[in-house]
Amino acid sequence: MFDHDIVAFIQSGVSITLAACAPGRVPSMSRGYACKPVDGDTIGIILPRTQAAEALDNIRLTGRVAVAFSQPTTNRTTQIKGSDARIVAFDPDDEHLVRKHIEEFVPEAVALGTPEEMVRALLSYQREDLVMVLFTPTSGFDQTPGPKAGHPLPATP
């Protein structure tokens, strides 16, 4: 997969945006609530089912995803793509990952002037509404604005 720095980054308090597309390349997206590397080859993104309905439908149709992880205060951004995405039930034992992500993301957004109450309202959820999208990364890119944008991420040997 990717080196330790990338794996730590995608699990930190970053903005997570999962995009999928329907046949014909019509895009859809959803905010991710947490990232979970499942094993050495698989990543899980926790999503709110109702807000992500269109993206989930597109995943069922194509299996293709692109996930952007962006740190608001620095614009550091990583994009990871996969072509075998599948939707699985949310494991309630993973709720701590959602809570951790929210607690780490809130200060990032507040530092840019967004009221904490607004951020927390945006990230409120019902456990029974959560699902996980699992996929094997096929490629990854540094998408931080600047001269390295679009460069492939370093892989672990």
| DSSP-assigned letters across all residues of 12-81 | SS-EEEEEEEETTTEEEEEEESEEEE-SSS-EEEEEETTTTHHHHHHHHHH--EEEEEE-TTT--EEEEE
Between the two ends of the chain, the Cα-to-Cα distance in Å is 8
CA distances, 89 to each of 47, 99, 104 (Å): 11, 18, 24
Tens digits of pLDDT across the chain (157 residues): 788 899 999 999 999 999 999 988 889 999 999 999 888 789 999 999 999 999 999 999 999 999 999 999 999 999 999 999 999 999 999 999 999 999 999 999 999 999 999 999 999 999 999 999 999 999 999 999 999 999 999 876 6
56 has which bridge partners?
Answer: none
Q: Topology of domain 4-144, per CATH?
A: Pnp Oxidase; Chain A (2.30.110)
Q: Are 94 and 100 in contact (CB under 8 A)?
A: no
Q: How many residues does the chain have?
A: 157
In 3D space, the residue among 74, 78, 75, 68 whose CA is nearest the CA of residue 27 turns out to be 68
Give me the pLDDT at residue 157, please: 62
3-state secondary structure of 98: helix
Question: What are the domain boundaries of the chain?
Answer: 4-144
3-state secondary structure of 153: coil
Give me the pLDDT at residue 38, please: 83
